[in-house]
Amino acid sequence: MSLAKEIGKVHNEIYKTVNGNIKVLLPIALTLLDKYKAKTRLGVAKPVEEIATEFGRTVKQDIDATLMRLQTEHPEISPLLRTSIESHLNEIGAQPESRINQIVDYISRNRRFLEGLNQEDFVGILYETMVSTEFDKQDGRFFTPKNIILINVEIMRSLLETQHADLKLLNVCDPCCGSARFLIYWVESIKRHFWKHHFLAPETLNDIFSKIYAKHLFGMDIHREVAGYACWNMLFHGDGATNIANADSLNHYGFVVHWKLVQQFIREFEDKFVETKQRIQQRELQDKLELIESKKGSILSFKDEKEIDISSLGVMDLIESINSLLEVHSKVSIKWWPVIQELHRLKDFDSINEIMKFQWSNINEEVEKGFDMIITNPPFGRGENLQINDPYILGQYKLATEAWVGDLTKTLLEKLLEKQFDKRVEDFYLQCFEEMGIEHILSEHNVKFKELSLGILRNIASASSIPVDGTENKNSLVNKLMDTLNREIVNEDDYVEISNVPKSVVKKVANEILFEGEGNVKKIGEFLTSKITGKLRSEWIKIEDVFDYDHKLTLKDSATGDEHTIYFDQDGKPMLFKNQLPKQVLFLEQFLRMVKDGGKVFTVIDTGVLSNNDDEYARRFLFKNSKIHAVVEFPHNAFKAAGTGVKTAVILYEKTSDPPEDYEIFGSLPQKLGYVLNKQDTPPDPDNNDIGKTLCDYREYVGLERLCDKSEEECDWATSGYCSVWRAEIEKVEE
């Protein structure tokens, strides 16, 4: 049975009943799921049969009561989920009783839909079916097919198995969580592992899994409604745990990036805060202001600072104080303090640093040091909506504020050379020629007679026994040389010393000698690269290596050891090498920043990042800061049902400050994914599935046993086109 197909049928029927307001389906389905969970906890033998009868008697008030009860039973649930519950109550409240009864009656008679309640990701599939047609595909947000999620979590778990990781203690995050399906399937993978290898009582295992949901699973999504649905999914699976945040996963540092504005706030704090306390008299706001005043010392300590520790209590005090003032401003306009008004305008979400260091670390203190792993599917592709050009976001990333030497334009290169070697670029090039033993212009340098000075042309004529009388102008002498020598290019027979030619010719010769490639796409050559990297001791160029700047801020993280410097112009705007980058490229760096040293990342990506010449800087960055363990590349249309034919892959990499220089990377190219790729709705096709083979190959590659005890030649995949263990135990195909 295809649950997505059955949900689709229910979706279409209810769509007609409620005149398109399909959101009413979710609270009804959640009530149904709540009843089903209650039956399974009681050990009812045939819960679906009982649910079919009981749910048919459900009325509008029952749905309201279920939603209210969930709030009461789980007082610790997040404000995000409370907002979602209130929204669902409003949706139900707006519907006539007769319409709710009609929907309930239809669902209670749909046995195949009810049988889907036992699937681990009922809420996720329900939500994605509901909103799949509403998503703006230009945003690059595509729901992930189940088998792609499964191969991610199974390969990740296999790698961790080789490292003897304690799976129940790993802190896991999905920064682009959607309905939290990656997190749900991760726990399902752990469950299979424990049930297979650990002989523990069911109550002990259930306690382990409840703790995983409560303390070790975290997610975030930029869309508030989507994050709300992830909360629901986590609530039902994790017995009340909903560590889901509504945030922009690319905004790591928040308004700290507006450091010039923050400095203005600090300088004005003493005078403006006194005025604020005098003007605001509401008791509840006065309490908040008194708390801010207690942190005055921390706030003022950052005056004129050029380096901060983003994990420190002082930074927490500074951020919390500004946030509290913004809350006050949202209730009573602090119009006498323009800096607060501007910070309020800039604030959209809590930053990732705030969420990890000062919120989630209260749930699990280890999160402050970074996650153990990230599994995710961020927005991918290269459309206009998938580019970041906000300098205050780009400024948070080394991929925008540092330049790989191989990407330097000639303009940037020459600025770099003049600043670093303290000489004119032509003189630097001449020094390079001397070191390379090149003294004369050769034919391969493509220097024309007309590019040389009149004095040098006379020397060439004299050396070639061409009579000159000293009265010729340059043009006439060039023509005479061309006619007599039957060429326009200088060659080695002319004995033209490079040190004597005009500056423009020095640069032209340098273009031929020190650069590689053709036409306008030439790259810096090996000799020039070695000169630059030898001087800077790095193949990555920083802003200060090339430009003058007004001020800078170094952001250190004492909990992780990470460090990033932002350089600002006089207006307080971050200075950049790249003014626009794809989201998917920035996410590669952000995921590394969010995991601890040794932390793993497994993410979906557009394959162009792995192969395009223009994306070599991104690959270089990964090789510099991580070890890549595996790449699994999918065929076109792997995400067809989600609305894109972009060719995708998943890449598994590990954060390390000292990656090996030469190592193997596991690669796989499964062509059949267990669903039909050439149909828009990609219906299930479990008889044609290479994914199980990919997993077996990876496990064998890292030294683990295959999924079954059959040899590769005897494998079901070789004889039947699919792995029977994958099909039955992992994908759980219903025959």
Considering the domain architecture, whether residues 418 and 487 belong to the same structural domain is answered as yes
Q: What is the mean pLDDT of the chain?
A: 89
Is 43 within a domain?
Answer: yes
Is 292 within a domain?
Answer: yes
Is 130 within a domain?
Answer: no
Element (H, E) at 316: helix 313-331
Is 165 within a domain?
Answer: no
> 422 or 33: whose pLDDT is higher?
422
- Asked if pLDDT for residue 361 goes beyond 50, the answer is yes
The domain boundary residue, chosen from 480, 513, 543? 543
DSSP-derived secondary structure letter, 160: H
Rounded to whole angstroms, the Cα distance separating 581 from 589 reads 12
- Convert the pLDDT of each residue in 131-178 to its tens digit: 655 444 445 456 788 899 999 999 999 999 999 999 999 999 999 998
Which of 59, 58, 68 minimizes the C-alpha distance to 88?
68
Considering the domain architecture, whether residues 425 and 338 belong to the same structural domain is answered as no
Length of the chain as a residue count? 735
Rounded to whole angstroms, the Cα distance separating 696 from 682 reads 24
Is 35 within a domain?
Answer: yes
Which of 25, 74, 34 minimizes the C-alpha distance to 54?
34
- Asked if pLDDT for residue 727 goes beyond 80, the answer is yes
Considering the domain architecture, whether residues 423 and 532 belong to the same structural domain is answered as yes
Is 29 within a domain?
Answer: yes
Is 712 within a domain?
Answer: no
Rounded to whole angstroms, the Cα distance separating 158 from 668 reads 15
Q: Report the SS3 class of residue 643.
A: coil
Is 276 within a domain?
Answer: yes
199 pLDDT tier (thresholds 50, 70, 90): low
Considering the domain architecture, whether residues 428 and 507 belong to the same structural domain is answered as yes
CA 197 to chain centre: 34
Considering the domain architecture, whether residues 435 and 526 belong to the same structural domain is answered as yes
Structure-token match 């209260």, residue found: 362
Considering the domain architecture, whether residues 447 and 531 belong to the same structural domain is answered as yes
Q: Please tell me the total count of domains within the chain.
A: 3
Rounded to whole angstroms, the Cα distance separating 477 from 468 reads 8
Amino acid at 238: G
Considering the domain architecture, whether residues 422 and 513 belong to the same structural domain is answered as yes
> 127 or 397: whose pLDDT is higher?
397
Cβ within 8 Å of residue 478, ≥6 positions away:
449, 450, 457
Cβ within 8 Å of residue 556, ≥6 positions away:
307, 308, 309, 310, 562, 563
Long-range own/partner contacts, residues 407-414 (CB < 8 A, 24 or more apart) = 407/616, 407/617, 408/524, 408/541, 412/541, 412/546, 412/577, 413/524
Residue 137, pLDDT score:
46
The domain boundary residue, chosen from 494, 514, 543? 543
Residue 468, pLDDT score:
84
Cβ within 8 Å of residue 153, ≥6 positions away:
182, 185, 186, 188, 189, 375
Considering the domain architecture, whether residues 112 and 26 belong to the same structural domain is answered as yes
Which residue segment(s) compose the domain that 110 sits in? 1-118
Structure-token match 């979400």, residue found: 349
Considering the domain architecture, whether residues 528 and 449 belong to the same structural domain is answered as yes
Residue 627, pLDDT score:
97
Considering the domain architecture, whether residues 259 and 332 belong to the same structural domain is answered as yes
Considering the domain architecture, whether residues 414 and 520 belong to the same structural domain is answered as yes
Rounded to whole angstroms, the Cα distance separating 574 from 594 reads 22
Residues 312-318 have a mean pLDDT of 96
Considering the domain architecture, whether residues 3 and 107 belong to the same structural domain is answered as yes
Handedness of CA 198, 201, 205, 208 (dihedral sign): negative
Residue 241, pLDDT score:
63
Q: 373 - beta bridge partners?
A: 172, 600
Neighbours of 435 (CB within 10 A): 10
- Convert the pLDDT of each residue in 175-198 to its tens digit: 999 889 999 999 999 988 888 877
Q: 489 - beta bridge partners?
A: 448
The domain boundary residue, chosen from 334, 350, 366? 350
Q: What is the pTM of this model?
A: 0.91
Residue 135, pLDDT score:
45
- Asked if pLDDT for residue 371 goes beyond 80, the answer is yes
Percent of the chain with pLDDT over 70: 95
